[in-house]
Chains A and B, each alone.
Chain A
Amino acid sequence: MPASDLAVHRSTIHESAARHVTGTAPYIDDLPELPGTLHIAFGLAQRAHARIVAMDLSAVRDFPGVVLVLTGADMPPDVDISPVHAHDEPILATDVVEFHGHPIFAVAAATRDAARRAARLAKVTYEDMDAHIDIEAARPKGRTVVTPMTLNRGDAPAALSTAPHVIAGRCAVGGQEHFYLESQIAMAIPGEGGEIKVLSSTQHPTEIQHMVAEALGVALHLVTVEMRRMGGGFGGKETSGNVFACIAALVARKTGRPAKFRPDRDDDMIVTGKRHDFVIDYRVGFDDDGMVLGIEGTFAARCGWSADLSGPITDRALFHADNAYYYPAARFVSLPLKTNTVSNCAFRGFGGPQGVVLAERVMDEIAYALGLDPLEVRLRNLYGTDTRNVTPYHQTVEDNVAPRLMTELADKADYAARKARIREANAKSPVIRRGIALTPVKFGISFTATQYNQAGALVHVYTDGSIMLNHGGTEMGQGLHVKVGQVVAAEFGLDIGAVRITATDTSKVPNTSATAASSGSDLNGMAAQAAARQIRERLTAFAAERWQVAADSVKFENGTVTVGGETLSFADFVKRAYNARVQLSASGFYKTPKIHWDRAAGRGRPFYYYAYGAACAEVAVDTLTGEYRVLRVDILHDVGKSLNPAIDIGQIEGGFVQGMGWLTTEELWWDGQGRLRTHAPSTYKIPACGDRPLHFEVALLENQANVEETIHRSKAVGEPPFMLAFSVLHAMSDAIASVADYRLCPRLDAPATPERVLNTIEALRARAK
């Protein structure tokens, strides 16, 4: 039976929208505190890499209100909270601190204020060790946090040695702070017989459960983790919440009191990981038509002091070094460097955007070398459909819509005519120069760790026809709950209002994966559908028997059930089913088919399918100061058959602007001591309202159902739009190129702060002389 369109493919509002706007959607810090709740603060190391010689915490312990101080020595032996079990991440640093801001103790007090004041009273003596803060400092030592990965297809060295043109270069891209508006938070509540309940703002409740169990040395069935909503995640709450939850749980365990840990924004930004910055060295060979013949790249990444998820993140950079382009021969190597900085972690795109940096730089290099329009070079190098369709990791691209997207968008945005007008205007403008660029996105959907591509859901139908839905995904604002709710409502022919989605809870749906890799609705939508279908099938079987009709004549539509010429309200029908002792609850399960990956061989099908998009951006650049403004952005994006167009467009607009921030104003800056000096919004500048494009038009690609059997043929949308922002970087590059008459590739690195733009302008002028 087809699903009812009453519920899916509609722009239903976010399930919490009315609560958001009235301030009645509680986040963890908003919940009433139980009597006796303790508040926790970290003491942070003041050295980038040093041995702790002495730590005098007497003033901390003596501060009024302080109840407990925990150091590394108080941690159970051998406890490690590495999400990949690398055994390189103790909860608190003990003998050696590995970055400036490394938590060395935690203090629990009666009030938040007391904990924070006390935490500043520690007297610590250090013996400094060599610190490697950035990629260039770490590279000579060559210490990596995980084994590097190599992708190899064709014979790249041979292709480069025979190519008519070869360009070698280096490009750099900065990291990024997540700046979720709600900082990290965890609250632990001790229960009976060693049980503990943890409320955590996390994308991965199951991992919090595992880490807390490890920290407490108890079985998983004693730990329950609950997560209703996050005030933003973006990958920053995939692993970074572990340390807060573990400390809160340890405090609760040791004191028998509830414990809450909400770091101040500055501490949050200092203590938690960020997007990895990369330096990429490349060589590309191409022919006279601008077709890539062979390419090599080394992707050095600042991973920080521990592995965290740096392995799969740097892997994904390599997976996306092709973006949407076909390379006949490619060899890519990752270099996940250990540095004395905070341990970098997941962030929307998960390394993919850093890979795309190379692909788009190379397209510009070729265009300027041959005097071609960069868009023309991009179009020529796109993957084909039946030929030229194998990636550097040997997966065949079977769903390529990039050519269609780019040509439709070029027409719609009037690229050619605007480009001509811009060049004409620039010739007459001494200060302000404009630029335009149109760039594609192709993003692989699935966790590259195959085991994570599974999900569970739990659906209860109550006897009044209302439905409670629970699934393993977490709501961080992306609209996952409304989408999955729509899926379930559709199965029963009900309006979304009939479905209540409850907090993600490890005691309801166990062994879940992180809500990450854009997979939330793909995985959990399918699992919820599977659960709902079981119930519907039972109901159908009941109806067929009770009314003596064929099963396929039973219809669930518009809040009613039609059977044997009779139409009942869903509630009445369900009541009868209950009376007939039909089980009205089911759990569902889903695992993504077709995928497999052999990292050592660099070969397989890591991705179920690809999501695509294209963006055309126009910018204006002030050539005196390097300031800029984004004037116009047109986006055409492929979400398959959208489950919820409004939610999807929201992801595209938001992802684009976040990507733009990464590539423009968002700059992480460490001083000579390895101190992160951009640890608050006063110094770290995410896009503000005025940074959004003056004209901002987002459209969904029409008539493009997913070729794979995804939930209602939709596509994942969380991460792919982030990379649409490359259109802005390359439009700025186009504007800058005007100062050297478009003869030289500007090689604009990111983040393209006004300073970096002006430096690029100056460098280009010098090269043109």
Chain B
Amino acid sequence: MAARNCLKFLLGHEARTLDAVDPTATVLDYLRLEERRTGTKEGCAEGDCGACTVVVARPSPEGGLRYQAVNACIQPLGTLDGAQLITVEDLAAADGTLHPVQQAMVDCHGSQCGFCTPGFVMSLFAMTKEGFPPETDDQAIDEILAGNLCRCTGYAPIARAAHGLAAMEITDGFDARREETQAALAAMDDGADVSLTEDETRWFHAPASADGLAELMLQYPDATIVAGATDVGLWLTKHLMRPDPLIWLGRARDLATIEETTTDITIGAGVTYSDALAHLSWTWPDFGAVVRRIGSTQIRNAGTIGGNVANGSPIGDTPPMLIALGARLHLRQGRIRRVIPIEDFFIDYGKQDRAPGEFVEAVTIPRPAPGQIFKAYKLSKRFDQDISAVMGAFSLFVDEGRIVTARVAFGGMAGTPKRSPSAEAALTGHTLEKSAFETAMRALAIDFKPLTDMRASAAYRLKAAQNMLMRVFIEVTDEDAATRLWDKRGIDDAGL
């Protein structure tokens, strides 16, 4: 099938077909400069502040529509293909009646300067469409709003509005037009490969399948692959780069699958953090707890675990956990596929075991085995939505009180995410005794010479990494000890 050369989406309830699309244009610039929809704001242009939050609705695999908040500032325009883009201008009724989300924000005095407000409204709107979690507590609200920064209110009135909304039954104009929207989106869903350009010099390709991607990658071995654009988006907005061609995975549905077997879980390269979260939390609670803190709801709705691995960052949060769990990486070049231990992928800073034209297709994570203990700790200046100073992951196989094997991996401690052979050796064969962990703590200094930067000093990184081992020890030997700030344990008499 010939590639389609136009971009199709709904803006609110209006169909848009764009024949000329700048491959590196962002959704935000499109909204503000082309459509003059200026309700959506630019606060940072790097996906951190959430002032640009919009909602993207797509057909859900389970039927119906799925509404997800994303950061318009770092989303390439082409990623809207086949979606409904909803902005703050779309929410109020035609007669001006405010949407319940908007009314709640007004009633609770949730806006002061108002600049972040449209973003908060859209994040809350997405939640009203998706359904707040059952028994929405403050922690759930914090998770929903972690990607929206407000400098004026201290969040208290916004959280009050969110609590009120969580307790409401809300139907709105989008429900009323749901069938019409679904029909319009279905009509766009042609299964075609999409290739977009503004002037035929630079291209944005969106293959409709993994096979299509493989072919394109053979054709353009140095193409930039983009999934959620949560990293590449910043190349565009901050480094003013124009990678060409950009190849977007978002239309390749066969890359967005999660397969579970009795022994492992295989996550396709196009699976977002949000989609993987439930599977991971269920299997590995600590893995889920870390993923819940990666970026924000907006970032997790766009970003993928595949991308987190493929970009090879030394401070990505999932690689240390995947390494500790012994995950396997699926790479593909044309029809040639290979599977490697994920730790072997990370060769050096900025260098991965990926040939030109090759791409990450999936990652396979083994399920828990008997006697396996898995712990993961993300350490950052701010709890939510912050890049880790140190990310530690620990997998111990314990048999009759003795550590049979130990896998200890860290991010933020070297030029790549990597294991600590010395610490592993110090633990292996020992019982769960403090001295073994103390030896392992000292051993970390042999394997790691971390850097000092704005996130942490070298000394602190090492000390904190060592203390994470102590936390593992305390957690596996003293069930009564409160070791985590975000557990209710240990603060239950705080009179809250």
Do A and B share a complex? yes
Interface residues in chain A, defined as those with a beta carbon under 8 Å from any beta carbon in chain B: 11, 13-14, 16-27, 29-30, 32, 113, 116-117, 120, 178-183, 229-234, 264-266, 414, 418, 421, 425, 429-432, 434, 476-479, 618, 620, 622, 624-629, 631-632, 646-647, 649-650, 653-658, 665, 667, 669, 671, 677-678, 680-683, 685-692, 694-696, 698, 753-755, 758-759, 762
In-complex Cβ contact of A654 among B46, B92, B152, B385 (8 A): B152
The 4 residue pairs across chains A and B that have the minimum distance between CB atoms: A23-B39, A477-B113, A231-B115, A657-B154
Question: Which residues of chain B are within 8 angstroms of A632 by Cβ–Cβ distance?
Answer: 494-496
Q: B residues 386-444 with Cβ under 8 Å of A?
A: 386-387, 389
B39 touches A754 (CB 8 A): no
Contact, CB under 8 Å: B491 / A116: no
Q: What would 15 A/B residue contacts be, using CB atoms closer than 8 Å?
A: A14-B111, A17-B114, A181-B115, A264-B45, A418-B494, A431-B483, A432-B491, A625-B377, A654-B112, A667-B381, A681-B48, A688-B145, A690-B139, A696-B156, A698-B156
A231 to B153, CA, bound (A): 12
Residues of A within 8 A of B109 (CB): 11, 13-14, 17, 646-647, 649-650
The majority secondary structure among interface residues of chain B is: loop
Please encode chain B, from 474 to 492, with 1 for each CB lying within 8 Å of some chain A CB and 0 for all others: 1000100111111000110
- Chain B residue with minimal CB distance to A433? B490
Q: In the complex, which residues 78-105 of chain B have their Cβ closer than 8 Å to any Cβ of chain A?
A: 87-89, 91-92, 98, 101-103, 105
Q: Which residues of A contact B45 (CB under 8 A)?
A: 264-265
Q: How far is the CA of A183 from the CA of B117 in the complex (A)?
A: 15
Whether the Cβ atoms of A695 and B496 lie closer than 8 Å is yes
Contact present for A682 and B381 (CB under 8 Å): no
CB of B47, distance to nearest CB on chain A (Å): 8
Bound-state Cα–Cα, A5 to B148, Å: 37
Contacts of B349 in A (CB 8 A): none
> How far is A29 from B154 in the complex, measured between Cα atoms in Å?
25
Interface pair B91/A180, CB less than 8 Å apart: no
CA distance A719 to B403 in the complex (A): 56
State the CA gap A329–B93 with chains docked (Å): 65
B259 to chain A, nearest CB (A): 33
Partner pick for B454 among A19, A653, A678, CB 8 A cutoff:
A678
Pair B113/A120 contact, Cβ less than 8 Å: no
Q: Which residues on A sit within 8 Å (CB–CB) of B238? A: 264, 266, 680
The segment from B169-177, B185-193, B461-469 found at the interface with A is B461-469
User: Please, which residues of chain B bring their CB within 8 A of the CB of A681?
Assistant: 43-44, 46, 48-49, 149
- In the complex formed, the residue of B with least CB distance to A652 is B154
Interface flags, B449-465, vs A, CB<8A=1, else 0: 00001111100100110
Give the shortest distance, in Å, between A22 (CB) and chain B (any CB).
5
Question: Which residue of A181, A264, A698 contacts B149 across the interface (Cβ within 8 Å)?
Answer: A181
- B485 interface neighbour in A17, A178, A628, Cβ under 8 Å: A628
- Are B383 and A627 closer than 8 Å at their CB atoms? yes
B214 close to chain A: CB less than 8 A: no
**Contact status A21-B102, CB under 8 Å:** yes
**Closest residue to A629 on the B side, CB-wise?**
B485
Residue in A closest to B146 when the chains form the complex, CB atoms:
A688
CB distance from A696 to the nearest CB of B (A): 5
Q: Is the CB of A265 within 8 A of B117?
A: no
Separation of A529 and B153 alpha carbons in the complex (Å): 28
Q: Decide yes or no whether B471 CB sits under 8 A from chain A.
A: yes
Contact between chains at B43 and A181 (CB < 8 Å):
yes
Interface status of B158 (Cβ within 8 A of chain A): yes
Contact A689 B41 (CB under 8 A): no
The 8 Å CB contact of A653, one of B39, B103, B157, is B157
A431 engages B482 (CB within 8 Å): yes
Are the CB atoms of B494 and A618 closer together than 8 Å? yes
Q: Is B121 an interface residue (CB 8 A)?
A: yes
Measured between beta carbons, the chain B residues less than 8 angstroms from A182 are 41, 43, 113, 115
Q: How far is the CA of A735 from the CA of B449 in the complex (A)?
A: 31
Decide yes or no: A669 and B44 within 8 Å by CB, A13-B109, A230-B113, A688-B385 being known contacts.
no
Chain B residues, Cβ within 8 Å of A678: 454
Question: Is B30 part of the contact surface with A, judged by Cβ < 8 Å?
Answer: no
Given the known inter-chain contacts A686-B149, A694-B496, please indicate yes or no for A677 contacting B89, CB distance below 8 A: no
Q: With contacts A21-B102, A430-B474, A685-B386 known, is A421 near B46, CB below 8 A?
A: no
Instruction: List B contacts of A698 (CB < 8 A).
Output: 156
In whole angstroms, what is the CA distance A689 to B149 when docked? 7
Taken together as a complex, chains A and B put the C-alpha atoms of A554 and B49 apart, in Å, by 53
Q: Which of B152, B460, B485 contacts A620 (CB 8 A)?
A: B485
Min CB–CB distance A689 → chain B (angstroms): 4
Which residues of chain B are near A653, meaning CB under 8 Å? Answer: 153-154, 156-157
Residue of B nearest to A417 (CB): B495
**Contact in complex: A627, B485 (CB < 8 Å):** yes
Find chain B residues with CB under 8 A from A178 CB.
Answer: 151
What CA separation (Å) do A21 and B107 show in the bound complex? 11
In Å, the complex CA distance between A669 and B154 comes to 24
Are A690 and B146 touching (Cβ within 8 A)?
yes
CA distance A671 to B92 in the complex (A): 48
Does the CB pair A625–B382 fall under 8 Å? no
Extra pairs beyond A17-B109, A680-B238, A758-B463 (20, CB < 8 Å): A17-B105, A17-B111, A20-B118, A21-B118, A117-B240, A182-B115, A418-B494, A431-B471, A432-B490, A477-B115, A478-B112, A653-B154, A657-B156, A669-B453, A681-B43, A683-B387, A689-B142, A689-B155, A692-B154, A754-B381
Which A residue sits closest to B464, measured CB to CB? A625
Q: How far is the CA of A179 from the CA of B377 in the complex (A)?
A: 29
Residues of chain B with a CB closer than 8 A to A477's CB: 111-115, 152
Contacts of A646 in B (CB 8 A): 109
Complex alpha-carbon distance, A97 and B490, angstroms = 53
- Chain A residues lying within 8 Å of B92, measured Cβ to Cβ, are 22
Contacting residues, chain B, for A233 (C-beta < 8 A): 113
Shortest C-beta distance, A107 to chain B (Å), equals 14
Q: How far is the CA of A478 from the CA of B307 in the complex (A)?
A: 41
In contact, B460 and A689 (Cβ under 8 angstroms): no
Task: Decide if B454 touches A677 in the complex (CB within 8 Å).
Answer: yes
CB neighbours (8 Å) of A479 from chain B are 112
Q: A418-B495, A434-B494 are in contact. Are A690 and B115 (CB under 8 A)?
A: no
User: Considering the complex, which residues of chain B in the window 109-131 have a beta carbon less than 8 Å from any beta carbon of chain A?
Assistant: 109-118, 121
Known A23-B88, A431-B482; contact A650-B112, beta-carbon cutoff 8 A:
yes
Q: Which residues of B contact A650 (CB under 8 A)?
A: 109, 112, 152-153, 157
Distance A26 CA – B37 CA, assembled complex (angstroms): 11
Query: Is B111 within 8 A of A685, CB to CB?
Result: no
Q: Fill in one digit per residue for B183-223: 1 if any A CB lies within 8 Å of its CB, else 0.
A: 00000000000000000000000000000000000000000
A657 touches B115 (CB 8 A): no
Q: Give the residues in chain A near B494, CB-CB below 8 Å.
A: 418, 434, 618, 620, 631-632, 695
Listed residue (A21, A30, A631, A653) with the most chain B CB atoms within 10 angstroms of its CB: A21
Contact of A120 with B142 in the complex, beta carbons under 8 Å:
no
Q: Is B470 an interface residue (CB 8 A)?
A: yes
Report Cα–Cα, A449/B405, bound state, in Å. Answer: 70
Interface residue ranges of B248-275 to A (CB < 8 Å): none
Given contacts A180-B113, A690-B142, contact A265 B38 (CB under 8 A): no
Residue numbers in A under 8 Å from B40 (CB-CB): 23
Q: How far is the CA of A685 from the CA of B474 in the complex (A)?
A: 30
Q: Does B159 contact A (CB under 8 A)?
A: yes
B331 interfacial by beta-carbon distance below 8 Å: no
Interface check B138, CB cutoff 8 A? yes
In the bound complex, what is the Cα–Cα distance between A591 and B41 (angstroms)? 38
A476 near B39 with CB under 8 A, answer no
**Could you tell me the distance in whole angstroms from the C-beta of A413 to the nearest C-beta in chain B?**
9
Q: How far apart are the CA atoms of A343 and B233 in the complex, in Å? A: 31
Residue B106 is within 8 A (CB to CB) of chain A in the complex: yes
Cβ distance A698 to chain B, nearest Cβ, rounded Å: 8
Tell me, yes or no, whether B335 is within 8 Å of chain A by CB: no
Name the distance in Å between A15's Cβ and chain B's nearest Cβ: 10
Instruction: Report chain A residues within 8 Å CB of B143.
Output: 690
Once the chains are docked, how many angstroms separate the CA of A230 from the CA of B116?
A: 12
Q: How far is the CA of A665 from the CA of B46 in the complex (A)?
A: 20
Query: CA of A183 to CA of B145 in the docked complex: distance in angstroms?
Result: 21
Taking the nearest CB of chain A, how far is it from the CB of B42, in angstroms?
Answer: 8
